[in-house]
Copies of this chain bind each other. A is one copy, B any other.
Amino acid sequence: MENCADRLVRAIGTKGNPCIVGLDPRIDQMPLFITENAIGRYGDLDRAVRGCITEYHERVIDTVADLVPGVKLQIAFYEQHGVSGLLAFKDTIEYAKSKNLIVIIDAKRNDIASTAQAYANAQIGRTTVFGHSVPIFDADFVTVSPYLGRDSWEPFVDTCRTYGKGIFILVKTSNPGSSDLQDLRLAGGEELYVTVAKLVRPYALELLGESGYSSIGAVVGATFPAQADTLRELLPESIFLVPGYGAQGATSSDVAHCFDEDGLGAVVNASRSLTYRFKTRDMSERAFEQLIRERTQAMIADISDAVAARIRTTRQG
């Protein structure tokens, strides 16, 4: 079975960029041609929720599938619509996979032992029931939170090994409040996020692919470039999933700190700044697709320039 990091690295190579499009449903911000009279058209509220989310994402995926290596789904925005939202979540994952996109679930799950295993089964593995082994959401990667310690990510690591999947462990997140715990200085002198990185490294070394990268990655926010430099050194084999570009204010120069000297080693996500924030919801299908495509191309150009500059600086230095 191919290592999941190798699959991601190959997809980055094929598309020529490391940009990930976030698919976070915000029904009240979708264009009117998706949502207008949705309850009437779909028959009831539950069907309208599932229908609008699925249709919106299929259009976005059709528009960007030839441009980017993958998509990231923030499960919270689906979960808030209950079972209808999670049906659309499953629809969206299946559609993205049918277009050969790498699928990352941002779920930040964290629990222990058999409970962590149950989450791993749901997101990237399989569940055995009545003698059948059933894939559930079956993404390529899922994000995992580390507060409960090693026994909270070990079941995910095992699942990655069994099914050729990957995880990104939260090490240094992009939000202002990430300093509350993650930047706390420990008695030994290092910050908590550094300790987390050191705890993660041995697991990263266990699941190395032929690309030299591991299926055990890290979430490293672009909003803290100095910390990204530190983490790049501490976790040389881990691919970084980088939030914070776009809506959260990080620039491409900030993002560049998450890449290796070879210009690899990170994927950069943008969600709202690509797929929402419209001047008006009253736009044509064609105008919508054109806007999503232009924004994605602009992000790709911006990130590619910054990464190229990073490579030049490194070679000169």
Chain A interface residues (CB < 8 Å from chain B):
24, 27-28, 35, 38-39, 45, 48-49, 74, 76-77, 79-83, 86-87, 90, 108-113, 115-116, 118-119, 121-122, 127-130, 132, 134, 136-137, 145-152, 170, 173, 175-182, 184-187, 189, 192, 195-196, 199
Contacts and interface: CB of A to CB of B under 8 A. Distances in A.
12 contacts: A24-B115, A28-B128, A79-B119, A82-B86, A82-B90, A82-B134, A113-B175, A149-B177, A181-B195, A184-B192, A186-B187, A187-B187
How many monomers of this protein are in the complex?
Answer: 2
A28 B121 CA distance: 15
Q: Choose among A83, A111, A152 the residue with the greatest number of B CB atoms under 10 Å from its CB.
A: A111
Given A82-B86, A192-B192, 19 more contacts: A45-B129, A49-B130, A74-B115, A74-B118, A79-B118, A82-B127, A83-B90, A108-B110, A110-B147, A112-B175, A145-B148, A148-B177, A148-B178, A149-B176, A149-B182, A151-B177, A184-B186, A184-B187, A186-B186
Contacts of A82: 86, 90, 122, 127, 134, 136-137
B115 A149 contact: no
Given A79-B118, A122-B79, A176 B151 contact: yes
A175 B192 contact: no
Contacts of A127: 80-82
Contact of A136 (B24, B80, B108): B80
Nearest to A193: B147
Contact of A147 (B80, B116, B134, B181): B181
B130 A48 contact: yes
A149 B129 contact: no
A147 B136 CA distance: 27
Given A45-B129, A130-B39, A187-B189, A149 B179 contact: yes
B130 A38 contact: yes
A170 B110 CA distance: 11
Nearest to A112: B175
Contact of A80 (B48, B79, B119): B119
A134 B128 CA distance: 33
A179 B195 CA distance: 13
Q: Choose among A113, A122, A146 the residue with the greatest number of B CB atoms under 10 Å from its CB.
A: A122
Contact of A145 (B24, B145, B185): B145
